[in-house]
Amino acid sequence: MTAAVVVDHVSKRYRLYHERNQSLKASLLRGRRARYEDFMALNDVSFEIKEGTAFGLIGENGSGKSTMLKCMARILRPDGGSITTRGKLSALLELGAGFHPELSGRENVYLNGAILGLSRREIDARFDEIVDFSGIEQFIDAPVKNYSSGMYVRLGFAVAINVDPAVLLIDEVLAVGDQEFQNKCTEKISQFRREGRTIVVVSHALSSVRELCDEVALIEHGRLIQVGPAVDTIDHYLTEILSIDPATLGIARRSTGEIQLQGVELLGESGEPVGSLALGDSVTFRFHFNALKPVSGPVFGMSLTSSDGVLVTGTNSRDQGLSLEIPTGLGWIDLAVPRLLVSSGKYHVTGTIYDTTQMTPIHEVGDLHAFDVAEGNPKTSGITSLGGTWRA
């Protein structure tokens, strides 16, 4: 597989001053230069990121993760080594990076788009899509200095993904957005992965990194400690660096990983993707996956949980006698529901894949997708509807 990003013996040095000469007078009076020491933010780091994969960077605060991402984005220049990327690169690194506070959201879309390499004609063509994704249409002509942190993130992410990048770099900033927007971003990232784009994520949310990323690099004190499959690297970080039992966090239950869930789409009666549903609607849950090798007899499962954590229902492919032979590569499996009989509210989808014995997890993803259900016909109270008809 071709490498989208090659990090080759990269080092980055900063100066930490113990005292500073604030003026020429201070320099003359002291008769010496200000004292400082070198701090190695990155120290001889090397790894490759394969094209079409999601790659995570983890480590404690100050470990060098964000510095590495800025070097990839060419915001910082390494003092040693080199970074090579293939294709157009787009980055969402710091809250409001590339935005001018005195300009309106509309003006900043054009400014930020130009910084990321888009022409005015290209931004014109994508402007409505950018604003629609951000969800801040009514504030688009207000100065961004009046925006909340969540609005900053929404607009910044909307611009970054519409650059049509081959490589997308994302720092912690997505944690600022609300749950609805985070779900929207997760769906977009899953779409990018299905399209064969490369995603690099820096995050402290280890459960999200485990679910999203194929491989993870652990950086500590500027040095690369480990790089490899997400579960293995996160387990090492928790046990060896943080001295935490992974099981206590509920994020490191060891799965075999031959098949990996990548997202779920909701398809309406016409077969087109839908964002929300109403009670009584026909819907198909389409689970996208990537099989790293052929698997015989896997069992796909789904559970639906309400926003307050109540399990509404659960089902799996074995219950309906579906026998599967999964070849290597990308694929999808559908759960068709003729009538969605749940009351109005927000629901969360958990996806699972088990081996043929249903004893060993192949992949489990909590909160794989979230969607809203509006009131429909017939109206109901409680969690579910019987779907019956009154007669007299």
Examine residue 27 and state whether it is found in any structural domain, yes or no: no
Q: In this structure, are 209 and 283 located in the same domain?
A: no
pLDDT at 367 over 90: no
pLDDT at 79 over 90: yes
| Model pLDDT, residue 252 | 41
Q: In this structure, are 204 and 329 located in the same domain?
A: no
pLDDT at 250 over 60: no
Tell me if 312 sits within 8 A of 305, measured CB to CB.
yes
Q: In this structure, are 240 and 264 located in the same domain?
A: no
What average pLDDT score do residues 66-95 get? 87
pLDDT at 101 over 80: yes
Closest CA to 130 of 102, 103, 111: 111
Percent of the chain at pLDDT > 70 equals 84
Tell me if 103 sits within 8 A of 113, measured CB to CB.
no
* Last-in-domain residue among 216, 249, 282: 249
Q: In this structure, are 84 and 45 located in the same domain?
A: yes
| Model pLDDT, residue 78 | 94
Q: In this structure, are 94 and 214 located in the same domain?
A: yes
Q: In this structure, are 53 and 116 located in the same domain?
A: yes
Distance CA 145, CA 364 (A): 41
* Last-in-domain residue among 249, 270, 287: 249
Examine residue 319 and state whether it is found in any structural domain, yes or no: yes
Examine residue 383 and state whether it is found in any structural domain, yes or no: no
Q: In this structure, are 215 and 297 located in the same domain?
A: no
Percent of the chain at pLDDT > 90 equals 28
Q: In this structure, are 143 and 110 located in the same domain?
A: yes
Number of domains in the chain: 2
Q: Tell me, what CATH number does 69's domain have?
A: 3.40.50.300
Average pLDDT, the chain: 82
Q: 179 pLDDT band (50/70/90 cuts)? A: low
- Choose the most confident range, by mean pLDDT, from 26-35, 244-253, 293-302: 293-302
Print the domain residue range for 154: 3-17+37-249
Q: What is the residue type of 283? A: V
Q: In this structure, are 73 and 136 located in the same domain?
A: yes
Distance CA 114, CA 233 (A): 37
Examine residue 384 and state whether it is found in any structural domain, yes or no: no
What average pLDDT score do residues 163-180 get? 74
Specify the higher pLDDT residue, 68 or 160: 68
Closest CA to 45 of 75, 88, 86, 5: 5
State which H helix or E strand residue 347 sits in: strand 345-354
Examine residue 330 and state whether it is found in any structural domain, yes or no: yes
55: which 2 tokens?
Answer: 């790659």
What average pLDDT score do residues 80-86 get? 93
- Choose the most confident range, by mean pLDDT, from 89-103, 215-229, 254-268: 215-229
What average pLDDT score do residues 128-139 get? 89
Which of 6-15, 44-53, 91-100, 342-351 shows the lowest mean pLDDT across its residues?
A: 91-100
Q: In this structure, are 210 and 321 located in the same domain?
A: no
Q: How far is CA 3 from the centre of its chain?
A: 20
pLDDT at 88 over 50: yes
Closest CA to 99 of 86, 91, 109, 89: 109
Examine residue 379 and state whether it is found in any structural domain, yes or no: no
Helix (H, G, I), strand (E, B) or coil at 157: helix
Q: 251 pLDDT band (50/70/90 cuts)? A: very low
Q: What is the residue type of 88? A: K
What average pLDDT score do residues 290-294 get? 91
pLDDT at 244 over 80: no
Specify the higher pLDDT residue, 260 or 61: 260
Q: 33 pLDDT band (50/70/90 cuts)? A: low
pLDDT at 287 over 90: yes
Q: 21 pLDDT band (50/70/90 cuts)? A: low
Examine residue 29 and state whether it is found in any structural domain, yes or no: no
What average pLDDT score do residues 232-248 get? 72
Q: Tell me, what CATH number does 268's domain have?
A: 2.70.50.60
| Model pLDDT, residue 248 | 45
Q: What is the pTM of this model?
A: 0.59
Examine residue 25 and state whether it is found in any structural domain, yes or no: no
Evaluate the CA torsion angle 332, 292, 368, 365 in order and state its sign. positive
Q: In this structure, are 83 and 202 located in the same domain?
A: yes
Q: In this structure, are 217 and 81 located in the same domain?
A: yes
* Last-in-domain residue among 249, 278, 295: 249
